[in-house]
Amino acid sequence: MSQRTALVTGANGGIGRAICQRLREAGHRVLTLDIAGDCDFQVDLAHGALPEGAFDAIDICIANAGIVDTIAPAHTMSAEKWARDIDLNLTGTFRIMQACLRGMRDRRWGRIVAISSVGSHGAGGQIAYAASKAGLHGLVRTIAIENSSRGITANSILPGMIATPKVLGMPQDVIDRVMDQMPMGRFGEPAEIAELVAFLAGERAGYITGQDIAVDGGISLTRINLGRARKD
């Protein structure tokens, strides 16, 4: 595999760290971006200024930064909470992709991967989160359409319940309730997301673009059974 320069946003989170490690194992040079902590670029993607020209050399853009813990149903969602999710999860993702695209188009090679969510199909109690992640569908597909002739692919990964510190930090009764709904009886691991990211970022994935790929242990599958009920 040729060494490429990758940028991972939200690099200090559970999934972000796993992605950085896996891309380094694949031989890539990895630059990190987060709103705080140890990283190459400390930037608020929602409202902060992006360093001019800093991302022109990026070959692989992994848009992982996002807010996942805004909890409110549609009838009580405040304008401030709504804007918080949209500004980072959707607009912030667009801003970093746009900044990386210029160099990719000049070099006629690039890989863009957005970490979306199965919540993009709708998630009770997370109206702003669901809307922001659903917006990534149109964003990524449009980038794929506009850039496929220049050797640039754009895809989305839709994780389900992944065992990140934030997920594992939920109240135990919530964890138990969610776990009861998991077809595989477990949460996913950040490394399982990172493995797919590494593939989509590589040379061999050059014919895959504009796709939403769920990594959710089957939770998004309907479990209605019209046949005779039986226990395994």
Residues classed as catalytic: 129
Quickly count helices (H) and strands (E) in the chain: 7, 7
Distance CA 187, CA 141 (A): 28
In sequence order, what are the residues at sequence separation of 6 or more whose Cβ sits closer than 8 angstroms to the Cβ of residue 223?
183
Distance CA 201, CA 143 (A): 16
Asked if 26 and 1 count as a contact pair (C-beta separation under 8 A), the reply is yes
Residue with tokens 């109206």: 127
Asked if 62 and 10 count as a contact pair (C-beta separation under 8 A), the reply is no
With 0-12 / 13-18 / 19 or more C-beta atoms within 10 angstroms meaning exposed / middle / buried, residue 69 is: exposed
Q: Within 10 Å of residue 119's Cβ, how many Cβ atoms?
A: 20
Asked if 221 and 227 count as a contact pair (C-beta separation under 8 A), the reply is no
